[in-house]
Each structure stands twice: as structure tokens, then as C-alpha cells.
Amino acid sequence: MSVHRSPLADRTASLFLKGYAWLPNRMRRAPDGVVRARLLGRHAVALRGPEAVRFFYDEAHVRRGGALPEPVRATLFGDGAVHTLDGEAHRVRKAMFLSLLTPPARVADLVELVGDAWDGAVRQWSRQADIVLFDEAAKVLTSAVCRWAGVPLEAARTDAVARDMVAMVDGFATLGPRHWRARAARRRCEAWLGGLVEDVRAGAVEVPEGSVVEVVAGHRDSDGRALDARTAAVELLNVVRPTVAVAWFVAFAAHALHRRPEHRKRLQDDDAAYAAAFVHEVRRFYPFAPFLAGRAAADLSWRGHRIPRGALVVLDVYGQDHDAGLWGDPYTFRPERFLQRPVERDELVPQGGGDPSTGHRCPGEAVTIALLEALSIRLARLRYDVPEQDLAIPLGRIPTRPRDGVRIAGVRDAHTAEDRL
């Protein structure tokens, strides 16, 4: 790979300081919609917009191999993960994830298990003075996704595993204690799930036929070889961890319902179209992934701008989801926008763009949407009080969330129409 020496100043420190606002702010000052900088010592070119999404997800232009910084691999995705592959190796590994995460029956089974776990948790919450919704949602999701995936998990370990899943996401884009907690969490989880894979292969542990564990343990890559136990553990985590990360969106949905209670009624009434619109707006409006990055596969040109081979190509995800040219009033939470016209694949990109069956778009996006629809409806039907707390969502923190996690008190479930708010 050629190395491009750039005189540009390195902006990594500024990125860490300003978080989600860093790239959109620079984009606003770029009249041609292209930002150049050095990030982590590498020449980077940032793009935005549906056309840029299609450019970014064309493997002739952008590859993932060698693009992810080691701190991100070592916390969020794991070494050897599908996210780091390109070409045929990526397509074969990605096909495994698509078989697990996209069939409607599989998604429906997971949604049902999460719903049951949520309903059981509500009964416990009603006996407590208050709870932190973010933390409790993570536990619900951990318990349900492990059961769905065929991962044996004792009830006594659920809280600890949930904390580790959250830590891996929470520490990927930072330095200091959060980052080191994320690394420690990944080591623990890879050792645990790697041992499970070895036991399944040895016949010492039985898991349900067709379960995620069985499929991953038996998967063969494009070279015909089975995954080693550690890589198999990495890919098991790449099913479980993103499912638990839906806790971020649950907290955001609760934040939206608290700030804008007028949205509760239509969610309570089983309006499927409105529930889908609400979920799309939560994913668009609230910040999660700030941007995505790949590596230029060759010397490229984007709208007359040269992108040298090996440079980072950065897709401005947060900026695109808040682009006035696409959304009109991007900083207004308005689910109705998604009832007025269909969602365009390469316009709304909170979990990436492109075609999930052929590119790097998250194969679990359908799972995220289905789970958030089900839990947003349940949340709208739940009666509770919101004590005084810090509900600010700091843009300097990646990934961000309401500072106090959305603490709720006096939880009571409203099963009848008369009891609903």
C-alpha cells in the first residue's frame, strides 16, 4: 500500500474534544462538501450525501481491510471480524450473518423473547423505587439475545455480561478508563465464548440446532476452513453485542417520549406505520455512530477531488442524518416526516448505507428496527414518573446517551386502554 505524506495538521485531538460536532462543523465550512484532515496520523477525506454513500460502499473505491484503528478493533469489533474483510472473504462471512439476522421468522423469534423478558422485568421494576432505564434495557436485551442465540447464560451472570457488552460499545471511541474497561470486557467475553465454541465442537455442550452458536461454530470461510475458536467468539459477540446496544436507542426513545409526550398515544394504539416512523426518527435524530471510515483502494477522484490510494475515506454519518438539504428541519424531532415519503436507503444511514447483502451495511439493522418498534410501543404503554435528573445528551462524548441513563420511578404497567396516558 502506498503511503501518502500530507502536510495537513492532525485533527485527532480536536475530534476527541468535539465529538459528533467536529465533522459536521468542518463540513459547513467546506463549500464543496469535502473535508481534508489528518486523523490518527493518516490523510483523511470526508464525504457526505447519498451519492457519497454509494461511492463509499463500492469496493472498487473503498476497502475495510487496514482501515479500522487498533483501538476500535480491540474493543468494538474484535480482531478478524467480518468488518475487517473485503472481497470474497467478506461475502462468505457476511452471508453467515445474513442467514442469522435477516430471515423474518428469526427476527420475530428474537422480538418475542425480548418482549417476554421486558414484561418480566417490568414486574420487577414495579417493586423498586426507581430504575435506570438504559441499564435495565441492556439486561433485558442480554438475557433475551443469549437465549435466542443458544448461548447458555445463568441468570446470576446476566448483569455482569450486560455490563461487558455495554462496555465494549461505550469505550471504542475514547481514551482512558472507558477504553480500558472495554478492552478488559472483550478479553473476558472472547475467553468465555471461545471456550463455549470449543465445548460445542467437542460435543461437551449441546446447543439448539440451527442456533447462532451452532452456525458460527460450524461456519467455513471462503478458504474452506473453520473459524478458530477466538474468531468464532468474535463473531458471536458481533451478534450479541449489537443487540445489547439497542439499549442506547431505548434510552433515546424514552428521552423523546419524555420531551414530546404527544407521541405516546399513536404508539399506544398499535399504529404500525407510526411506530416505524417513530423508530426511524429516533435513529435519525439521536447521535450514535459519528462517521464510518474505509481505505481508498486506488487513486480515486470524487467530484474533482483527488483521494490518494491508502487514504482514509470518511463518511459523515451524523452530519448526513442532520443535513438540512435532506431533512428540511433536521434538529426537530418529527416522526411524521417518514410518513410523508418512504425512507431512501442511502439517505438515512445511522447504521451505514448500501446494500447489506453485498456490502458492509449492518446486517442487524432489521433486528434493531424490529426490537425498537416493539420496545417503543411497550415504553409508551408503561406508566412511570421521571424524577429530576440530568437528561442532557453531550455531543462531546462518543457514543453518547442521556447523562443519567433516563431514571424512572413508580413504574406500573398499563394493560387497559383506560389506564394508558
Name the region of 328 (left: φ>0; alpha: ψ -120 to 50; beta: rest): left
Do 284 and 327 meet the contact criterion of CB atoms below 8 Å apart? yes
Residues 323-371: tens digit of each pLDDT: 999 999 999 999 999 999 888 889 999 988 877 666 666 778 999 999 9
Cell readout for 415 is 394493560
Give the CA dihedral 377, 381, 385, 390, nearest 10 degrees: 10
Residues 371-392: tens digit of each pLDDT: 999 999 999 999 999 999 999 9
For residue 385, what is the DSSP state?
A: E
Q: What does pTM read for this prediction?
A: 0.93
Spatial strand order in the sheet of 130-132: 130-132, 407-413, 382-385
**Angle in degrees, CA 167, 171, 172, rounded to 5:** 120
pLDDT at 344: 83
Say how far apart CA 187 and CA 350 lie, in whole Å: 28
Strand-pairing partners, residue 305, are: 302
Output the DSSP codes for 293-355.
EEEESSSEEETTEEE-TT-EEEE-HHHHTT-HHHHSSTTS--TTHHHHSPPPTTT--BTB-S-
Question: What's the whole-number mean pLDDT along residues 298-307?
Answer: 94
Say how far apart CA 341 and CA 278 lie, in whole Å: 14
Give the chain's domains with CATH numbers. 12-419 (1.10.630.10)
Residues 1-44: tens digit of each pLDDT: 444 444 567 888 888 889 999 999 999 998 788 999 998 888 99
pLDDT above 90 as % of the chain: 80
Nearest Cα residue to 404 out of 261, 264, 255, 290: 255
Confidence bin at 71 (pLDDT 50/70/90) = confident
Residue carrying C-alpha cell 424514552: 254
More confident residue, 415 or 223: 223
Burial degree of 322 (CB within 10 A; 0-12, 13-18, 19+) = middle
Which amino acid is it at 115?
A: G
Say how far apart CA 37 and CA 46 lie, in whole Å: 8
Residue carrying C-alpha cell 435477516: 102
- HSE, CB side, 13 Å, CA atoms: give it for residue 185: 25
Output the DSSP codes for 56-104.
HT-TTTEE-TTTS-HHHIIIII-TT-GGG--HHHHHHHHHHHHHHHS-H
Do 385 and 357 meet the contact criterion of CB atoms below 8 Å apart? no
Residues 73-112: tens digit of each pLDDT: 889 899 999 988 889 999 999 999 999 999 999 999 999 9
pLDDT at 364: 83
Say how far apart CA 151 and CA 181 lie, in whole Å: 23
